[in-house]
Amino acid sequence: MAGEDEASRNKGFRLLGILDVQRTPCARDAILHGAGGSAAAGMLYFLATSRVKRSFDVGFAGFMLTTLGSWFYCRINNAKIRVQQRVIQEGIRNKVVYEGTVLDPTKKPKAEAPSGPS
């Protein structure tokens, strides 16, 4: 039984057979935001017009737009964070390499003292 549980955990949940929601970054949040956007857009349109078929169409469009908007927003933020992490890692690596040497950027060169009154 333990082997079956582990196999089912490794398989994950695939949406439409192509998108592994558990392993794809931002996928779960985007789908949940899309569901909320769909419900809100469809209900608001139905309450305003009482047209069922058109409300479904508006709800579907709301799902697509909200899902894609949330997906791209999340992916762009993840890319920014990865760039910041790379810059920080490079800075730490340089600090370790140059620490205590003449090239140490934190070490300020000593200014020569004036030689006194001339």
Which residues, in sequence order, are CB contacts of 14 under 8 Å at separation 6+?
Answer: 20, 21
Confidence check: pLDDT of 10 > 90: no
H-state helical runs in the chain: 2-11, 27-49, 52-98
- ∠ Cα 41 43 45 (to 5°): 65
pLDDT in tens, 17-47: 556 777 778 888 998 999 999 999 999 999 9
Report residue 111's pLDDT band, with 50, 70 and 90 as the boundaries: low
Residue 8: per-residue pLDDT? 52
pLDDT digits (tens, 9 = 90+) for 67-99: 999 999 999 999 999 999 999 999 888 887 877
The CA distance from 87 to 67, in Å, is: 30
Are the C-beta atoms of residues 96 and 104 closer than 8 Å to each other? no
pLDDT in tens, 60-70: 999 999 999 99
**Any bridge partners for residue 86, and if so which?**
none
| pLDDT tops 70 at residue 16 | no
Interatomic CA distance for residues 2 and 9, integer angstroms: 11
